[in-house]
């Protein structure tokens, strides 16, 4: 805490902005203090370079085990006002909902009331970043924040404004793109996996069942091995804690129906062939019990993930 407060004071002085306007975020080895000498040297350099850098530089600066910088923007038109929503993110490992080694910073020049902005961000986060998993592991460090400076000159949006719905949709679209980027860039990953579950008893059951499949090491390694082993999916549904009637379950991979009413249809080889030629895999599951629906993004699990994390400090 002392180090964090020291950094905020230093930035406040160097950039001549209020200390309360500085938001600090970090990821790193848990329990290891920040290398303050290097941080303070970096801040000295930052104060000279700020005017000559852009959002792409920020995306690169926060990379750790990421393989590529994550940056994107959207245009938003509300009435006669044209505005921009931009962002950067980082994350590739220790990714699971609630606490992930993830940072995401979003910026807009729209004017929007704090209550409306907070609601939109919370809703977008619940529907995107909180529906991804790389390895099912959580971290002590994650942050998502959004800043709106009002420079576009519009009347501040409220939850009842005509342009608020458009803003929420655009924010969801951007955070959904970032969540897919993070999963696609999962440590050692070669495949983005989209799990679409429907027909659950209710929403909580849909979320439980989808995440159970998404977090299963056996499902993830099967996808890496280009093996449409639907039995592993069925097993993950069974232990998910959701209500499942095995003789009602339908499962498809990349549009090929492997299971109907809980029974295999003899199409494993055809489905496995699609896994060899696509770096995006869609698993559709219908429990055929109720109306619960959810979608979760995950990735495959490879030897490279083990190598990266075994050598993380050595």
Residue 221: active-site member? no
Helices (H), 225-295: 230-238, 268-276
Residue from 27, 65, 78, 101 carrying the catalytic annotation: 101
| Tokens (6 digits) for 149 | 């400076």
Rounded to an integer, what distance in angstroms lies between the CA atom of residue 280 and that of residue 146? 29
Catalytic sites, residue numbers: 101
């Amino acid at each position: 805490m002392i180090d964090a407060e020291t950094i905020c004071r230093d930035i406040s002085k160097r950039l001549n902005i209020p200390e309360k306007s500085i938001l600090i975020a970090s990821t790193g080895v848990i329990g290891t203090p920040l290398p303050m000498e290097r941080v303070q040297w970096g801040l000295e350099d930052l104060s000279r370079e700020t005017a000559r850098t852009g959002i792409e530089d920020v995306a690169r600066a926060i990379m750790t085990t990421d393989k590529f910088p994550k940056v994107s923007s959207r245009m938003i038109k509300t009435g006669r006002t044209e505005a921009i929503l931009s962002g950067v993110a980082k994350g590739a490992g220790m990714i699971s909902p609630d606490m992930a080694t993830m940072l995401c910073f979003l910026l807009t020049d729209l004017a929007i009331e704090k209550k409306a902005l907070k609601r939109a961000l919370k809703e977008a986060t619940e529907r995107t970043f909180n529906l991804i998993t790389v390895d099912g592991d959580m971290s002590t460090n994650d942050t998502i924040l959004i800043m709106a400076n009002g420079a576009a000159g519009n009347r501040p949006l409220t939850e009842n404004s005509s342009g608020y719905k458009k803003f929420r949709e655009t924010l969801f679209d951007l955070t959904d793109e970032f969540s897919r980027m993070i999963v696609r860039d999962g440590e050692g990953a070669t495949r983005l996996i989209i799990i679409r579950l429907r027909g659950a008893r209710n929403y909580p059951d849909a979320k439980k069942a989808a995440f159970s499949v998404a977090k299963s090491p056996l499902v993830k390694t099967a996808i890496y091995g280009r093996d449409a082993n639907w039995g592993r999916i069925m097993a993950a549904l069974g232990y998910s804690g959701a209500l499942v009637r095995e003789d009602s379950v339908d499962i498809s991979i990349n549009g090929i129906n492997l299971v109907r009413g809980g029974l295999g249809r003899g199409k494993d080889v055809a489905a496995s062939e699609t896994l060899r030629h696509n770096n995006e895999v869609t698993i559709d599951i219908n429990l055929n019990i109720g109306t619960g629906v959810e979608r979760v993004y995950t990735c495959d699990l490879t030897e490279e993930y083990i190598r990266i994390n075994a050598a993380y400090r050595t």
